[in-house]
Structure 1
Amino acid sequence: MCRAMRRPGEERDGLLLQCKGAAAAAAAWWASAWLLPSTVTAFATFTALLALQSTVYRSLWDSAQYLGAMALGTAGAAAFGSTAGVHVWSVGVLAFIALIGARFQLLGRQGAQVPVVALFAFAGGGGDVDYIGHLVAAAAIGVCCGLAAHFAVAPSPHTDTAEQMTTDLAARAQSLLRALARMAERETAEEKSQEDWARRIEQLAARAAQVRAAVDREQENSRLNPRRPWCRAEESLHRCHEAIDMIERLGTHIRSVARALTHARRVPETETVLTSYANLLHGAADALECLHPPQGPEDADRLRGHIEDAMHRYREVTATVRQDRLDTPGEWPVYGAALTEAVRILEEIEHTGDRAPGQCRSG
């Protein structure tokens, strides 16, 4: 509660949704009590709460699915009520048919409401057509009250929050690159086992999944939201998705680099090569910092310079490996993998920079 009152965010949106739910339920009860029999008043209140989801788009979609489920359920109840009547066998047959209708994919998770509505209208209302009509009207009132509350005070867009989370995720990837560089430089403070690096990279992947889920929620929140034009939010959130994709791929390359460096550090003769390779990783980290995902590079020429400088360091490391005769069949799989993954990291950064608004292109 305190966090919701202090600053905007999911906590405040959740509290606002609860307040809107209470208001919509009260309005639905009042309207249904005024217009319809008391036997269906509770149904209007329930439907108002069901129509209120976390986003306007989700509320509209769930409401449409629910009304479709209700149409199937009430149609079955009316058909059996006007022909077979309410009996043990007819309740069983209706339930069986309604459960089949619940499997329609278009109804989504609201498909479960088909047998609920059918049995409620059939057994609870005796299959009476007038009762079923009142039930449908109550549901319509509830949906209208729920959607009206949502559109009156739409959820706040948090596109800036999604961008900040993506920026922080990129900073984590950059930190891992610099930590690997310090490891290659043989700084004892950065000595870690292969299991430690695997754990850190898994943490990066888990955080990427969390950020992706947050961006997906914001994409849904932006659709049909009267508080933010979708066309403007779409571009920003699309860049967030591209940045997350890139960082997840970088995590795969970083894992391979960490595995290769863990092996290479055991060989004393590789100190010169690892020092040069550390400079290559620092150059990749500089390029990632300059890329500044998801907004894109502020200075396209500067990003291009970082990538070209890193590629120059890559050629230096390759020459050093050959000069020190570390490209033998026993050693090259280690250094070849490390060099290949470093180039792929640079290619990922360059490719993302090419697609950024600034369209940085390397010559």
Structure 2
Amino acid sequence: MDTRWRSVCRAVREPGEKRDGLLLQVKGAAAAAAAWWVSAWLLPLTVTAFATFTALLALQSTVYRSLWDSAQYLAAMALGTAGAAAFGSTVGVHAWSVGVLTFIGLIGARLQLLGRQGAQVPVVALFAFAGGGGEIDYIGDLVAAAAIGVCCGLAAHFAVAPSPHPDTAQDVTQDLAARAQRLLRALARTAEGRTDEGDSPGDWAGRCDELAARAVRVRAAVDKEQENTRLNPRRPWSSAEESLQRCHEAISMIERLATHIRSIARALAHAQRAPAADKVPAIYAELLHGAAAALECLDPPRGPEDADRLRDCVEDARRRYQDATAVVRKGRLDAPGEWPVYGTALTEAIRILDEINCPRR
């Protein structure tokens, strides 16, 4: 219990996702209570529960998502109530008419425009038709209750809109870039013939998969922050929006780096299993260290503090690439003991340098 209380206190004190989640719960309770009070004052008690449910549905994690989901829900409700009204005013409530209406509602639920709210079409249709006997007056009260709920939910969201957190998005993206840099350093140590704890070649596939999976999670977090800036009354300055866009560009670059790193890891694992004469040239380890240093200078997503230093790091790494290429070319490439992975390892290393020097959007 003490742990939960400390977590709540921390969420109140510190801005971030935990505070936004706690605030969303408070707004949900307030919106539900307001929707029930207004609907009970204006409408029959038989539909007040629908207003509270709709108020909670209208409160999503961001203002943009709340508006979009509310619009989709109201559209789904319009289709469902229209079907219920049509059947109620013509054939009446029977077992077969309930089945036919449900079938039609399930077809309507598949409309892509309604998104995840499409499932509400048959639900609302059955609620209005079977629960309210298909009577027009009941359906009108039901629609009014839903409108009250949506208004209360959106009012609570706009009154205390969730704060965008571009700095948090930058931090998690920077951490992702640091993980990619550590992988490059570990690869360099492997190429040098020394392995620290966790540098076993057998672990490389898992570590590359972990980096790729983390990139997916980080992109989802940045997407949420970008969505949080849309239609938000507490919308940040354009510089914050630009920083979120840089986060996306940095994540894309790191995902491409992860692909190149995986290829190098496979090549080095193959080289370590090869005969003694088939070892990786020492200059190649220096090339990987140089690539890691260049990535550190780039410092995505914030960008390099010293552009000249970044350029020097990339040029130094390119010289090491030329040296490694020269070492490989001096050997007899068709000999059985020749380094069999020179092409893959060198090609992927220069691609990493190209990504760092000229990151694509």
TM-score by length of 1: 0.92
Aligned-partner Cα distance in 2 for 1:215–1:68: 29
Q: For residues 188 and 52 of structure 1, do their structure 2 counterparts lie closer, same or farther at Cα, with a shift above 3 Å needed?
A: closer
Which residue is equivalent to 1:202?
A: 209
Which residue is equivalent to 2:334?
A: 328
Report if the CA contact (8 A) 1:201-1:255 is conserved: yes
Report if the CA contact (8 A) 1:183-1:191 is conserved: no
Which residue is equivalent to 2:55?
A: 48
- Is 1:296 paired with 2:303? yes
Aligned-partner Cα distance in 2 for 1:85–1:247: 61
Counterparts of residues 242-261 of structure 1 (less than 5 Å): 242-261=249-268
Report if the CA contact (8 A) 1:179-1:190 is conserved: no
Report if the CA contact (8 A) 2:271-2:340 is conserved: no
Aligned-partner Cα distance in 1 for 2:151–2:198: 62
Quote the offset at 1:267 in angstroms: 4.2
Which residue is equivalent to 1:361?
A: none
Amino acid at match of 1:98: G
Which residue is equivalent to 1:85?
A: 92
Amino acid at match of 2:334: T
Aligned residues: 352
Which residue is equivalent to 1:95?
A: 102
- Is 1:262 paired with 2:306? no
Structure 1 counterpart SS, 2:162: coil
The percentage of aligned residue pairs carrying the same residue is 77
Amino acid at match of 1:194: P
Structure 1 runs not aligned, ≥5 long: 356-363
Amino acid at match of 1:216: D
Aligned-partner Cα distance in 1 for 2:195–2:65: 52
Aligned-partner Cα distance in 2 for 1:188–1:137: 68
Structure 2 runs not aligned, ≥5 long: 1-7
Report if the CA contact (8 A) 1:222-1:233 is conserved: no
Q: Considering only aligned residues, what root-mean-square deviation do their CA atoms show, in Å?
A: 1.8
Report if the CA contact (8 A) 2:288-2:349 is conserved: yes
Report if the CA contact (8 A) 1:24-1:145 is conserved: yes
Counterparts of residues 192-231 of structure 1 (less than 5 Å): 192-229=199-236, 231=238
Q: For residues 23 and 270 of structure 1, do their structure 2 counterparts lie closer, same or farther at Cα, with a shift above 3 Å needed?
A: same
Quote the offset at 1:291 in angstroms: 0.6
Aligned-partner Cα distance in 2 for 1:188–1:213: 34
Counterparts of residues 342-361 of structure 1 (less than 5 Å): 342-352=349-359
Counterparts of residues 1-363 of structure 1 (less than 5 Å): 1-189=8-196, 192-229=199-236, 231-265=238-272, 266-269=274-277, 274-323=281-330, 325=331, 327-328=333-334, 330=336, 331=338, 333-352=340-359
Q: Deviations over 1:125-151 (max 9, x none)?
A: 111111111111111000000000001
Aligned-partner Cα distance in 2 for 1:185–1:244: 29
Quote the offset at 1:228 in angstroms: 2.1
Aligned-partner Cα distance in 2 for 1:85–1:191: 71
Report if the CA contact (8 A) 1:224-1:230 is conserved: no
Quote the offset at 1:71 in angstroms: 0.4
TM-score by length of 2: 0.93
Quote the offset at 1:289 in angstroms: 0.5
Structure 2 counterpart SS, 1:251: helix
